[in-house]
Amino acid sequence: MTQPRATLISLEATPWYHLVNRCVRRAFLCGTDSVSGQCYEHRRGWIVDRLHQLAGVFAIDVAAYAVMSNHYHLVVRVDAARAGEWGDDEVLRRWTSLFTGPLLVQRYRAGADLLPAERQAVTALAATYRERLADVSWFMRLLNEAIARQANAEDGVKGCFWEGRFKSQALLDEAAILSAMAYVDLNPIRAGMADTPERSEHTSVAERLGELMPQRDSVMPVAPPAVSAASGRAPAWSDMLPRQPLMPFDATARLSTAIPFSLEDYLEVVETTGRSRRADKRGLIEARVPRLLERLSIDPEAFIAASTTLLKRFGSAVGSPTSLTACCASRQARHLRGMRAAREVFARRVA
C-alpha cells in the first residue's frame, strides 16, 4: 500500500534520508546511449553542480551522492533547527536566490515602506519559505526541474524527463547511515563504471579524495560548472549561486551537522567493501573487520552483501530491528519491509 510522503519523511523519526530518482523509461541521463550514439556525459556535472548550490540555500546537507547513467542517489540530512534560527530577512534572501518572489517581497527587500498589513503578509510568506527550505520534497523538486528543463532544451523536446517522484528511505540510526553512504559511493564500482573509489567520477567519495589529494590525476577534482557539449556553454543557473561543500565527518559526534564517523574509518569501509564485491579479488581480501563496522556492531559479511541490495532488501526505512520496530509503531503500520535484512546486517551474531 502506497504511503503518503509525510509519513515516509518525518523529521521526528530521523533527519537522515537516502533518495533516488530515475529518468523516464530508464533513458540515459548521462554517459553514451548505445542506440543513438549520443553522449550525455556532461549532464552528470549539471546534477553535481546544482546539488552543491541547493545545499547552500536549503537547510539540507549532502553527505553522499552518486550520479549514474540513468539515475542518481543522495544521502542527505535535514537540519530543521538551523532553518528555524534564520530570521525573516535571511529566509527571504535565500528564497529569492532561487525565485524572484511576489512583488510584495521584492518591495520589502528593496527597502520600501510597507503598511502594517503588508509587513504581516511578508512575515507569513517568510514562515512558509522557512518550512520549504527544510523540506526534502522542495529540495528534490528544484534539483530535478533545473536538470529536466536544461536537458529538454538541449534535446529540443518537451515532456517528462524523470520517471516520477523520488524514492526515499529513512535512515534510522548510525548503522543505516553508514550502509546507505557506502551503498551510494560504491554504485559506479558495482556497475563496472570504475575500478576504484577515486576513479568513480561524480560521486561524493571521489570528490572528498580529490580535495585531499588534488595533485593526483587519478582523483577527480571538484569540477567547475559543467559545459554542455551541444550548446558550448554552462546552464543558465550554474554560476548564480556559490557551491556548498559536502557534510564534514566528526568521529566525536559532538557536531549535529556532521557525519558521525571519521573520514578515515569511512574510507576504510568503502575500500574493504568495494574489494569484497569484486569477484576476481574476493579471495585476496584480508579477513578483518573495519573498525567502524565493529564499533557499530554490524556483521561484516552481511554488510558486504547488503552493499548491493540496499534498495531491494529494505523498504521506506533502513535501520536496526529495534529502529524499524519503533518506526513501524510511529507510522501505525503493521510491518516494514526489511526486518529480516535488519536482523542479518545490523544484529551482530554471537560467536
Domain parsing of the chain, residue ranges: 11-82+135-346, 87-132
Which one of 20-24, 192-196, 208-212, 292-296 scores highest in mean pLDDT? Answer: 20-24
**Pick the residue with more confidence: 77 or 271?**
77
Span 253-263, average pLDDT: 83
- Residue 156 has phi, psi (to 5 degrees) of 70, 35
Q: pTM for this one?
A: 0.82
Lowest mean pLDDT among 77-91, 109-123, 227-241, 335-349: 227-241
> What's residue 184's pLDDT?
94
- Best CA proximity match to 179, nearest among 269, 250, 111, 251: 269
pLDDT at 239 over 70: no
> What's residue 33's pLDDT?
65
> What's residue 218's pLDDT?
41
> What's residue 309's pLDDT?
72
% of the chain with per-residue pLDDT over 90? 37
pLDDT at 48 over 90: yes
Confidence of residue 287 (pLDDT cuts 50, 70, 90): very low
pLDDT at 42 over 70: yes
Beta strands in the chain (DSSP E): 16-22, 60-67, 71-78, 167-171, 317-318
Which one of 9-18, 59-68, 154-163 scores highest in mean pLDDT? Answer: 59-68
Span 75-88, average pLDDT: 96
What are the Cα distances from residue 148, in Å, to 153, 162, 224, 277, 303?
Answer: 8, 7, 20, 34, 35
Which one of 152-156, 166-170, 216-220 scores highest in mean pLDDT? Answer: 166-170
Which residue has 529538454 as its cell numbers?
A: 152
Which one of 175-184, 211-220, 264-273, 295-304 scores highest in mean pLDDT? Answer: 175-184
**Pick the residue with more confidence: 43 or 38?**
43
pLDDT at 11 over 90: no
Cell numbers representing residue 242 in the block: 556559490
pLDDT at 227 over 80: no
> What's residue 329's pLDDT?
83
pLDDT at 294 over 70: no
pLDDT at 253 over 80: no
* CATH topology assigned to domain 11-82+135-346: Alpha-Beta Plaits (3.30.70)
40-44: long-range contacts, CB 8 A cutoff, minimum separation 24: 40/151, 41/229, 42/226, 42/227, 42/228, 42/229, 43/147, 43/150, 43/151, 43/226, 44/201, 44/202, 44/226
Cell numbers representing residue 195 in the block: 575500478
pLDDT at 82 over 70: yes
C-beta separation of 200 from 59 below 8 A:
no
Q: What's the chain's average pLDDT? A: 81
Residues shown for the chain: 351
